Amino acid sequence: MLKLAITGCTGRMGQRVLKEANRDPNIEVVGALSRPGNLFLGQDVGVFIGQEPLDISITDNPTLAFKNADVVVDCSKPGGLETHLQEALQQNKAFVACMTGLSETHKAFLETASTKIPVLVAPNTSLGNVLLRKMAVLAAEILGPSYDVSIMEMHHRSKVDAPSGTSLSLAHALANLEHLKKSNPPYPAQSPRTEGTIECVSLRGGNVPGEHTVIFAGDKDLLKIEHRVLDPSLFAHGAILAAQWLFGRPPGLYAIDDVVGISS
């Protein structure tokens, strides 16, 4: 039985991870952390997610929250990372960082921590997205420079960043290819297109959980490779798979690609 502590547990991602974990017979939720002032502090975690009581209270004390855990799954925001990682280091716990928007300072901190504990950085825990990236790179290699490459994404109306982190990581992987080397973040759309570049286009609207399409447009045909999230609990499921994969690994810096078992 894998014992999990979940931070940012009152947020959308945190709640989804709590729910997925609670319905998985191989997982036990042993800690649920929010921050001081949160409305739900002290509430039973099971009741909080609309299920049977779990006899675990939502706390703002990381020492308490991580005490019985094998793995900490951080579903808070980048602002919470340092405190959570510091405590995981203190208690020698494996750590999965699920938040997006990490700065270079955060990344350096994660890297340093990974010399002492296993750390998996997964701003996108959808395994399908890893496959999308692999397939897109393969398609770009095969199709070559005569095809223009575009990445189109759509997310719900309240998403803050554009292009999405996933679009940027797709573009980054493609820009490693010799014929797409002229591409530079944030990969703006161009009219007319310059050869050797990638463009990223973002759409925002409604309640769309996340869609990414990589388009290869040639003179005589057009290829689209698409990943569409149908249910956002997908990300929680991926976070739990990542935690299961990470437990028992030696200290090191890991990515979601490692969970899928393919190198990027």
Ligand X SMILES: NC(=O)c1ccc[n+]([C@@H]2O[C@H](COP(=O)([O-])OP(=O)(O)OC[C@H]3O[C@@H](n4cnc5c(N)ncnc54)[C@H](OP(=O)(O)O)[C@@H]3O)[C@@H](O)[C@H]2O)c1
> Which residues participate in catalysis according to the annotation?
155, 159
Question: 127-143 vs 165-175: helix axis angle to the nearest 10?
Answer: 30
Which stretch in 4-12, 19-27, 133-141, 173-181 sits in contact with ligand X by CB under 6 A?
A: 4-12
Q: Between residues 119 and 180, which has the closer beta carbon with respect to ligand X?
A: 119
* 167 interacts with ligand X by CB under 6 A: no
Question: In the complex, what is the shortest distance from the CB of residue 184 to ligand X, in angstroms, rounded to a whole number?
Answer: 24
Q: How far is CA 260 from the centre of its chain?
A: 13
SS3 151: strand
Amino acid identity, residue 221? D
Residue 40: closest CA among 10, 76, 82, 72: 10
Residue 93: closest CA among 23, 20, 1, 6: 6
Distance CA 10, CA 30 (A): 15
Question: In the complex, what is the shortest distance from the CB of residue 51 to ligand X, in angstroms, rounded to a whole number?
Answer: 18
Amino acid identity, residue 255? A
x/- contact string, 23-42, with ligand X (CB under 6 A)?
-----------xx--x----
- Of 233-252, binders to ligand X (CB under 6 A) are 235
Binder among 46, 123, 128, 196 for ligand X (CB under 6 A): 123
- Residue 78, class by beta-carbon neighbours within 10 Å (0-12 exposed, 13-18 middle, 19+ buried)? middle
Which stretch in 6-14, 22-30, 133-141, 243-251 sits in contact with ligand X by CB under 6 A?
A: 6-14
Q: Between residues 19 and 35, which has the closer beta carbon with respect to ligand X?
A: 35
Residue 153: closest CA among 211, 226, 228, 230: 211
Tokens of 183: 């591409």
Q: Between residues 32 and 215, which has the closer beta carbon with respect to ligand X?
A: 32
In 116-157, where do the E strands start and end? 118-121, 148-155
Q: Which residue is nearest to ligand X (CB)?
A: 11
* 62 interacts with ligand X by CB under 6 A: no
Question: In the complex, what is the shortest distance from the CB of residue 132 to ligand X, in angstroms, rounded to a whole number?
Answer: 14
Tokens of 256: 């979601």
Question: In the complex, what is the shortest distance from the CB of residue 80 to ligand X, in angstroms, rounded to a whole number?
Answer: 3
Question: In the complex, what is the shortest distance from the CB of residue 85 to ligand X, in angstroms, rounded to a whole number?
Answer: 12
Binder among 2, 4, 5, 8 for ligand X (CB under 6 A): 8
Tokens of 5: 């502590």
x/- contact string, 84-113, with ligand X (CB under 6 A)?
--------------xxxx------------
User: Backbone dihedral region of 202: left (phi > 0), alpha (psi from -120 to 50 degrees) or beta?
Assistant: beta
Q: Which residues bind ligand X (CB under 6 A)?
A: 8, 10-14, 34-35, 38, 75-77, 79-80, 98-101, 122-125, 235
